[in-house]
Structure 1
């Protein structure tokens, strides 16, 4: 069984009477595709984004048994007025519920919330289970503020209490140190690292030990800096016994590596060498299959790189499906 834990959706329609600042979907003559118009954004959306039957056809063609659908990241617009952000989130969540109803055994869904208003976002989580949503997608920063900031701790505590999965999708923050061409490549890696690190450094990971949280694209460069963080914490090379005399920033709490091994990471890192490092450092029980479909083309068949790595059967089964089910809070038997 293979579960694609990083796949996106777009609603096929938006309310015609929505405020002018909210998105709309425009038909494209002679095509089943539609054009997403959202301020300056113009994005041609394939029908698999919003049509459940086409989605299932694409899954069958690629060998995908189930998908975890999350909103296309440009919808995570925290610069909207809170009321507009809430209206947008509720529309997207309701549309997601419609898609899930077409094939509930194969489609799992994540909703969205207006985190520009943390109180409203936290309150909105209460209705997710009724909609059939397994969790929530958030961006890696909220208007440039780290998700590990203490103002968002009540939100994560509520997600933990409700047993909802959290998916953190790397999104650019205001930055002028790299050219715009880096927004989809280097900046995504940097943002993933910042987000995961902030959950540890801000105390949220320690405060929410049962929180099931996943990071897109393996949280960028996060795994590469963890051994250094562990050395600063405990003073040991190669994850040996702590040596307080060498520790630069000693801490009697859990080590950064212990906290990082509570997170999940999708393995869409484009190279088997990186996947092997992630397995060795974080564990095969922490990785998920991901594709970014249909925003990006899947490997054909799905998870081809993983399939070709000669993984132990237990590791392959964990990464291909069991970890995703655990992250979602679903039954892993069978």
Structure 2
């Protein structure tokens, strides 16, 4: 079984009386596609983004049993007024629930919350649960503030309390140190590192030990920084036991690596050597299949690189589907052969 834990949706339409700041989905002449128009964004969206039947057909064609679908990142617009952000989130969440209802065992949809107003975002999580959505997607920064900023901690505490899964998608922050051409490549690595690192360094990982959170694209470069962070935390190379000089080292709780091993990471990193390193450092129980479909084409077949790595059976089962269900708080139940079926766990 394969669950693609990083795939995207777009609502087909928006209300006619929506505020002018809302997106639009304009028809494309002679096509069933739509054009997402949102600020400076012009994104052509095929039917698979918003039609459940097309999604299921695409899954069948690529060997995917189920998807965890999140809104396309351009919808994470925290520059909107808080009230407009909440209205947009509710519309997207209503569509996400409706899309999932067509094939609930194959399309598991995440929603949005208005993170520009952390209190409103926390309050909206109850409505997300009531809508049957297992989690929400947020950006790696909120108007330039990393998600580990203490102002967002009550939001994560409420997500932990309600059992709501969090998907952190890397998004550019205001930056003039790289050209615009780097926004979709190097910035993903930088922002993923900042987001995951801020959760550890800012204290949220310690304060919310049961939070189920996943990072897109393996949280960028975080895995390369963790051994150094561990050295300056406890003086160890290769996590080997050491005699600590307590005047210099700080072993007052879990290490940075131990915190990082509480998170989930999708494995869309484009190279089996990177996946091997992630498994060795973070554990096979931390990785998920991800594709960014349909914003990007899947490997053919899906998870081709992972399939070709000759992973031990338990590691393959964890990465290909079990970790995804653990992340969103669901577990498999008895079903006909070849037909995946899931149920929510307590608190999910």
Q: TM-score range by the shorter chain?
A: over 0.9
Whole-angstrom CA distance in 2 between matches of 1:247 and 1:149? 28
Report the counterpart of residue 102 of structure 1 in structure 2: 102
Q: In the alignment, does 2:82 pair up with 1:78?
A: no
The ranges of structure 1 where at least 4 consecutive aligned residues each deviate by more than 3 angstroms after the TM superposition are 246-249
Taking structure 2 as the reference length, the TM-score comes to 0.94
Is 1:234–1:247's contact at 8 Å kept on the other side of the alignment?
A: no
Is 1:4–1:64's contact at 8 Å kept on the other side of the alignment?
A: yes
User: Post-superposition shift, 1:218?
Assistant: 0.2
User: Post-superposition shift, 1:243?
Assistant: 3.5
Q: Specify whether residues 176 and 243 from structure 1 end up closer, same or farther in structure 2 by C-alpha distance, changes over 3 A only.
A: farther
User: Post-superposition shift, 1:40?
Assistant: 1.3
Alignment size in residue pairs: 334
Q: What are the ranges of 5 or more consecutive residues in structure 2 without an aligned counterpart? A: 335-348
Q: What are the ranges of 5 or more consecutive residues in structure 1 without an aligned counterpart? A: none
Describe the superposition over 1:263-316 as per-residue Cα deviations: whole angstroms up to 9, x where unpaired: 000000000000000000000000000000000000011000000000000000
**Aligned pairs for 1:287-326 within 5 A:** 287-326=287-326
Is 1:217–1:269's contact at 8 Å kept on the other side of the alignment?
A: yes
Whole-angstrom CA distance in 2 between matches of 1:66 and 1:242? 45
Describe the superposition over 1:54-102 as per-residue Cα deviations: whole angstroms up to 9, x where unpaired: 0110000000000001000010000000011000000000000010000
User: Post-superposition shift, 1:246?
Assistant: 8.1
User: Post-superposition shift, 1:108?
Assistant: 0.7
Q: Specify whether residues 248 and 277 from structure 1 end up closer, same or farther in structure 2 by C-alpha distance, changes over 3 A only.
A: farther
Q: In the alignment, does 2:131 pair up with 1:135?
A: no
Query: What SS does the corresponding residue of 2:172 show, helix, strand or coil?
Result: coil
Query: What SS does the corresponding residue of 1:160 show, helix, strand or coil?
Result: helix
Is 1:235–1:246's contact at 8 Å kept on the other side of the alignment?
A: no
Taking structure 1 as the reference length, the TM-score comes to 0.98
Report the counterpart of residue 153 of structure 1 in structure 2: 153
Q: In the alignment, does 2:283 pair up with 1:283?
A: yes
User: Post-superposition shift, 1:233?
Assistant: 0.2
Q: Specify whether residues 323 and 247 from structure 1 end up closer, same or farther in structure 2 by C-alpha distance, changes over 3 A only.
A: farther
Report the counterpart of residue 180 of structure 2 in structure 1: 180
Report the counterpart of residue 168 of structure 1 in structure 2: 168
User: Post-superposition shift, 1:130?
Assistant: 1.7
Whole-angstrom CA distance in 1 between matches of 2:128 and 2:118? 16
Q: In the alignment, does 2:121 pair up with 1:114?
A: no
Cα RMSD, aligned residues only? 1.1
Report the counterpart of residue 221 of structure 1 in structure 2: 221
Moved more, 235-244 or 124-133: 235-244
Describe the superposition over 1:228-254 as per-residue Cα deviations: whole angstroms up to 9, x where unpaired: 000000001111114422885514011
Report the counterpart of residue 56 of structure 2 in structure 1: 56
Report the counterpart of residue 239 of structure 1 in structure 2: 239
Is 1:96–1:111's contact at 8 Å kept on the other side of the alignment?
A: yes
